[in-house]
């Protein structure tokens, strides 16, 4: 049977009366419309492994291969301690924002959950920016489409593994995000839709494009209004820091810039950005040694980290200005496991935030001020676990090195959810 990733899913009745044309963001004057096709989205090896995996059984097998630490991660990050207190994400809604999505996502997640002792998932698929094409439709790159399906399955699995009773929304868009503006207007339209209809508490974004790939650094900010509206509505946004170490992909063709660059939306101060670490666990989920950064030697890629050229240092990063040595926004802010790419780290943290939403009995909103001004400086007392080893150098570009306390490479480090969640809730009140 021919695999059609989204052919069975029609736009939700919830969309009735809402214009599906993308109007939230338009590429600014000067953005090329007849230029050669942008280079492809930099998928992790885990997401690309789903190419050709057309059945639920095939897709679950790919999840098992990619997520070898799941569900031990819930033990490693002490989420299970919160579960035992009744904090499981119940009443919270977390969204993954993706191109194309996967119309089998609920069946895949339920089968995976049954195998690993997790409850059935509450998953809803929306198409807020218009009907999503099938992977076999004319003009759709099948490999890219199926990789996005893999990204979707990976994202929801990690959210569910951390917050098993949270509702999960897959917000699928009809244009592949690649590099530059391509696909991003549709994604920002989806953010606006989620905000307008009060559908979610947290939005996770496992994608990014190099700042240099926009017509200008200033033009990037035309994408900000949707994020600003979401933030003002109390929605917390998280993003992956990237998988190209301190550099990033060209707009056209293969390869990375030969110098340090930053990725958007990771560089956006409205977003909490997740770097990638490596967990070292035994069969029970207990650590055998401290976490370190994802790096080229062990994983073939380095986690993204760096300094924006578009966004000035926000006031809440003033406390670390002597460490960054820059007037620009640094990222990541915090880190979680990213051996399958930092597109793994972001939804994992989104799951942690779903636990905090339940504990808070309300949305969290922008958490970065609390993270930098109240939680980070307290360290372990606030559930912040320092990451002090590793660097993210890649492709001949010198990266950033983890060190005690805050550093550009890992942000504040990683988290012990059982302490971090109540500390975050307290800090936001």
Measured in whole angstroms, the distance separating CA 292 from the mean position of its chain's CA atoms is 19
- Mean pLDDT lowest among 20-34, 111-125, 150-164, 283-297: 20-34
pLDDT at 69: 58
pLDDT at 26: 41
Average pLDDT over residues 102-107: 94
Task: For residue 70, name the pLDDT band (cuts at 50, 70, 90).
Answer: low
**Cβ atoms of residues 273 and 241 within 8 Å:** yes
pLDDT at 4: 26
Average pLDDT over residues 119-131: 96
Q: Tell me how many domains the chain contains.
A: 1
**Range of the structural domain that residue 158 is part of:** 41-428
For residues 341 and 406, the model is more confident at 406
Average pLDDT, the chain: 89
Q: The CATH number of the domain where 356 resides is what? A: 3.40.50.200
pLDDT at 100: 95
According to DSSP H, which parts of 135-179 are helical?
A: 142-162
Residue 299 has pLDDT above 50, yes or no: yes
pLDDT at 10: 31
- pLDDT (tens digit per residue) in 179-198: 899 999 999 999 999 999 99
pLDDT at 212: 96
Average pLDDT over residues 215-244: 97
The answer to the question of residue 34 being in a domain is no
The answer to the question of residue 77 being in a domain is yes
What distances in angstroms separate CA 414 from CA 165, 238, 408, one per listed residue? 23, 14, 13
Count the neighbouring beta carbons within 10 Å of the beta carbon of residue 116: 17
The answer to the question of residue 221 being in a domain is yes
Distance in angstroms (rounded) separating the CA atoms of residues 51 and 125: 21
Task: Give pTM, 2 decimals.
Answer: 0.91
pLDDT at 242: 94
Place of tokens 């480090």: 413
Average pLDDT over residues 81-106: 97
Task: For residue 67, name the pLDDT band (cuts at 50, 70, 90).
Answer: confident
The answer to the question of residue 28 being in a domain is no
Count the neighbouring beta carbons within 10 Å of the beta carbon of residue 280: 14
The answer to the question of residue 140 being in a domain is yes
Percent of the chain surpassing pLDDT 90: 78
The answer to the question of residue 59 being in a domain is yes
**Cβ atoms of residues 301 and 246 within 8 Å:** no
pLDDT at 253: 73
- pLDDT (tens digit per residue) in 135-183: 999 999 999 999 999 999 999 999 999 999 999 999 999 999 988 999 9
pLDDT at 68: 66
- pLDDT (tens digit per residue) in 364-395: 999 999 999 999 999 999 999 999 999 999 99
The answer to the question of residue 166 being in a domain is yes
The answer to the question of residue 242 being in a domain is yes
Task: For residue 24, name the pLDDT band (cuts at 50, 70, 90).
Answer: very low
Task: For residue 1, name the pLDDT band (cuts at 50, 70, 90).
Answer: very low
pLDDT at 65: 86
**Cβ atoms of residues 251 and 295 within 8 Å:** no
Distance in angstroms (rounded) separating the CA atoms of residues 193 and 191: 5
pLDDT at 219: 97
């Amino acid at each position: 049977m021919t695999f059609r990733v989204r052919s069975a899913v029609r736009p939700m009745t919830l969309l009735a009366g809402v214009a599906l044309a993308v109007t939230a963001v338009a590429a600014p004057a000067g953005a090329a419309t007849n230029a050669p096709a942008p280079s492809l989205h930099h998928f992790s090896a885990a997401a690309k492994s789903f190419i050709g995996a057309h059945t639920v059984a095939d897709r679950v097998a790919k999840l098992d291969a990619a997520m070898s630490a799941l569900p031990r991660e819930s033990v490693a990050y002490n989420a299970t301690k919160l579960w035992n207190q009744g904090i499981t994400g119940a009443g919270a809604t977390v969204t993954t924002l993706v191109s194309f999505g996967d119309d089998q996502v609920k069946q895949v997640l339920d089968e995976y959950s049954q195998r690993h002792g997790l409850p059935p998932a509450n998953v809803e698929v929306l198409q807020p920016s218009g009907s999503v094409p099938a992977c076999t439709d004319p003009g759709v790159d099948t490999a890219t489409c199926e990789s996005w399906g893999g990204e979707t399955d990976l994202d929801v699995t990690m959210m569910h593994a951390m917050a098993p009773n949270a509702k999960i929304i897959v917000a699928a868009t009809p244009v592949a995000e690649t590099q530059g503006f391509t696909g991003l207007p549709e994604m920002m339209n989806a953010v606006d839709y989620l905000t307008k209809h009060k559908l979610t508490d947290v939005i996770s974004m496992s994608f990014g494009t190099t700042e240099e790939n926009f017509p200008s650094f200033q033009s990037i900010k035309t994408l900000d209004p949707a994020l600003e509206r979401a933030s003002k509505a109390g929605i917390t946004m998280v993003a992956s820091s990237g998988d190209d170490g301190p550099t990033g992909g060209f707009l056209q063709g293969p390869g990375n810039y030969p110098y340090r660059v930053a990725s958007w939306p990771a560089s956006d101060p409205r977003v909490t950005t997740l770097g990638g670490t490596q967990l070292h666990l035994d069969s029970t989920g207990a650590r055998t040694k401290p976490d370190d950064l994802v790096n080229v030697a062990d994983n073939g890629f380095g986690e993204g980290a760096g300094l924006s050229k578009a966004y000035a240092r926000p006031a809440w990063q003033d406390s670390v200005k002597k460490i960054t040595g820059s007037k620009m926004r640094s990222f990541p802010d915090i880190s979680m496991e990213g051996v399958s790419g930092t597109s793994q780290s972001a939804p994992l943290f989104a799951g942690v935030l779903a636990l905090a939403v339940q504990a808070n009995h309300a949305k969290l909103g922008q958490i970065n001020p609390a993270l930098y001004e109240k939680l980070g400086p307290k360290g372990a007392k606030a559930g912040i676990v320092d990451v002090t080893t590793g660097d993210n150098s890649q492709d001949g570009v010198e990266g950033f090195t983890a060190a005690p306390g805050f550093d550009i490479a890992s942000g504040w480090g990683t988290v012990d959810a059982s302490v971090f969640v109540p500390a975050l809730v307290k800090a936001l009140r």
